Amino acid sequence: MRFLTAGESHGPALAGIIEGLPAGLLIDEKYINRQLARRQGGYGRGNRMTIEKDSVAFLSGIRFGKTTGSPLSMIIENRDWPNWEKTMSLFLPAEPGSGKVTAPRPGHADLPGGIKYLQDDLRSVLERASARETAMRVAVGAVAALFLQHFGIGIASFVAAIGGVEAHPALPAAWDLERINKARSPNLYCLDREAEKLMVERIDQAAKEGDTLGGVFEIHVQGAPVGLGSHVHWDRRLDARLAGALISIPGIKGVEIGLGFAAAALNGSEAHDELFLDENERIFRTTNRAGGLEGGITNGETIVLRAAMKPIPTLRKALSSVDLAARSRSPASVERADVCAVPAASVVGEAVVSWELARAFLEKFSGDSLVEVEKAYQNYQDMVGKYLGASDA
């Protein structure tokens, strides 16, 4: 299973194609659009979010609400396109004052991208490098999430820190997706309301100073079976794939699994999850320090991932740069941007994790139709029952 996206931040639309989805999967358009709306939310977003009202339109690969097995194609229109038709014209020659960018923003793809593709107008780079592209990745990931939900795999995210303010969420003892979604605040998608008040203050202060803030979000996945991924080759290790997917999100600079970096300071006796047998001789653990992944393979526990997002590199109080045309020192170009987009990034994180898990699931339980996948999955559950106990397989 694979996907491609296309489109620029201020072009006519974003496009996406998914190839390899099994036939027979019910597509919930409303669910996908809710995920797109969540990506647009969160305190600290910029004016662009008041213009765009993202919704997905499907063009192929669905009939009567279910996938057919052929490529699934979809678009998200950019409502801001009419204001950018001349600047982002597909065929007409550039007009004077058509938004040419020559002063790269530190921390963005502007300079290395311009050099790599030999562009004297950095807008040709920044329009595609923009996080606007993640809107389509959220749509793609939402389709993957629908597939996972069919097999009882749920995913949720929440903001754990912004601008140095850390939240201390207390997850419910009986963890489930519905409880997390209910506990998560609408402002910053945080589970700690007291910490959130301080986060909002930090965002307001940064906005007044023309600055930006980063933070950390956490993702939990419940219901993934034992055995997704593999230890036999580096590129089949699911922990590597999940980390790579998260760090592909613009602005993400660090990823942790389970204890993450904290494990480096512990003794081995404190860092690993011991195994026990219950009265029915089923294997269980009392801790989940590994975050649901051992040796690149899911171990049946909740998958716990954490990603660190740097502050957005577009600042109203522009950083020092160099004008590539004039070859002189210059303030960096200023594009319309957010003060903080950590809540939005958490939604994108859910999407990319959903995609990688769905890929791994289909690699393990392959089939051209959902019925085939269901049978392969059930057969596997029956076989591994002798190791874990039938109810835990």
235 and 244 Cβ atoms separated by less than 8 Å: no
- State the pLDDT at residue 44: 87
Domains (range + CATH), the chain: 2-392 (3.60.150.10)
Tokens 């008041």 map to which residue? 50
Torsion (CA) 178, 180, 181, 184 in degrees, nearest 10 = 160
**Per-residue pLDDT reduced to its tens digit, 149-203:** 999 999 999 999 999 999 987 655 456 677 778 889 999 999 999 999 999 999 9
- Predicted confidence at residue 202, as pLDDT, reads 97
pLDDT at 175: 60
- pLDDT given at position 11: 94
Closest CA to 165 of 145, 139, 194: 194
pLDDT number for residue 391: 46
Listed in order, strand segments (DSSP E) in the chain are 2-6, 13-19, 57-60, 62-63, 66-67, 72-77, 154-162, 165-166, 215-222, 252-257, 276-277, 283-284, 293-294, 297-298, 303-309, 320-323, 328-331
Cα–Cα–Cα angle for 14, 305, 183, rounded to 5 degrees: 85
The pLDDT value given to residue 29: 97
Q: Which structure tokens are listed for 247?
A: 């760090």
| 106: number of Cβ within 10 Å | 13
Phi-psi region of 293 (alpha: psi -120 to 50; beta: other; left: phi over 0): beta
pLDDT of residue 48: 65
Residue 49 confidence (pLDDT): 62
Helix 134-150 vs helix 342-364: crossing angle, to nearest 10:
50
Instruction: Pick out the chain residues at pLDDT < 50.
Output: 173, 390-393
**What is the predicted pLDDT for the residue at 308?**
98
- Spatial contact of 307 and 255, defined as CB atoms under 8 Å apart: yes
Angle 83-204-9 (CA atoms, 0-180°, nearest 5)?
A: 25
User: Which pLDDT value is given to residue 390?
Assistant: 45
CA distance 342 to 228: 28
Report yes or no: 344 and 42 within 8 Å, Cβ to Cβ.
yes
Angstrom distance (rounded) from CA 103 to CA 325: 8
Q: According to the model, what pLDDT value does residue 392 have?
A: 46
Q: What is the pLDDT of residue 336?
A: 73
- For the chain, report the end-to-end CA distance as a whole number of angstroms: 25
Structure tokens at 10: 């201020």
Q: Kindly state the DSSP code that residue 229 receives in the 8-state scheme.
A: B
Kindly state the tokens that stand for 58: 């499907």
